[in-house]
């Protein structure tokens, strides 16, 4: 199966690594079926979209063997994630997160991730209070986190590194029909 070298799990792991020291609570992926919401203060991450922000770049990697030679296709991509901050102090924590995304601190933290990803910006946090299962209001503040990453999709490459040319009499080899 052909796939990108950066998965959603890779992206969410890098983002979670940035969020954890700031929020001081659980940081989980949203939209997980059969998993109850954490108690107290926590943050959820929901991938909203990936948009290409460049045209594709193609790199031919001829290793001398058709078994390992590849064509690598890449494009700069913009990844948008909805960040939901829950619990007491949600507004303050959401504001701190959104503000820190726009700093050198964030760039430094993401540079240490296992993948090549850098924050671009965050939208302004806004209140999105929710009603829980007990019909009680829960503090919730939301903003979008936007980052750039450059996924590579490698496909097999066919090539020829030598060719033999021979002369052939056309009329004899391919006689006319008729």
Alpha-carbon span 62 to 5, nearest angstrom: 19
101, part of any domain: yes
Q: Give the CATH number for residue 52.
A: 3.30.2000
Q: What is the tens place of the pLDDT at every residue in 83-108?
A: 999 999 999 999 999 999 999 999 99
Identify the burial level of 120 via C-beta atoms within 10 angstroms of its C-beta, where 0-12 means exposed, 13-18 middle and 19 or more buried: middle
2, part of any domain: no
Question: How many CB atoms neighbour CB 30 within 10 A?
Answer: 15
26, part of any domain: yes
169, part of any domain: yes
Q: What is the tens place of the pLDDT at every residue in 111-137?
A: 999 999 999 999 999 999 888 778 888
Which residue, 88, 100, 74, 75, is CA-closest to 141? 88
Torsion angle defined by CA atoms of residues 43, 48, 52 and 102, in that order, rounded to the nearest 10 degrees: -30
Q: Please count the structural domains in the chain.
A: 1
73, part of any domain: yes
For the entire predicted model, the pTM comes to 0.83
Helix (H/G/I), strand (E/B), else coil: 171? helix
Alpha-carbon span 139 to 45, nearest angstrom: 16
178, part of any domain: no
3, part of any domain: no
1, part of any domain: no
Domain residues for 107? 8-173
């Amino acid at each position: 199966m052909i796939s990108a070298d950066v998965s959603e799990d890779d992206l969410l792991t890098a983002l979670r690594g940035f969020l954890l020291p700031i929020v001081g609570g659980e940081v989980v992926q949203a939209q997980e079926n059969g998993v109850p919401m954490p108690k107290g203060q926590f943050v959820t991450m929901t991938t909203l979209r990936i948009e290409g922000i460049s045209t594709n770049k193609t790199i031919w990697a001829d290793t001398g063997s058709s078994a390992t030679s590849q064509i690598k296709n890449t494009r700069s991509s913009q990844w948008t994630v909805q960040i939901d901050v829950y619990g007491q102090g949600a507004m303050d924590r959401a504001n701190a997160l959104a503000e820190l995304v726009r700093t050198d601190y964030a760039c430094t933290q993401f540079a240490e991730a296992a993948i090549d990803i850098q924050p671009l910006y965050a939208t302004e946090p806004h209140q999105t209070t929710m009603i829980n299962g007990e019909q009680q209001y829960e503090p919730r503040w939301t903003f979008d986190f936007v980052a750039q990453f450059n996924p590579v999709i490698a496909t097999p490459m066919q090539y020829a590194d030598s060719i033999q040319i021979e002369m052939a009499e056309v009329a004899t080899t391919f006689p006319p029909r008729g």
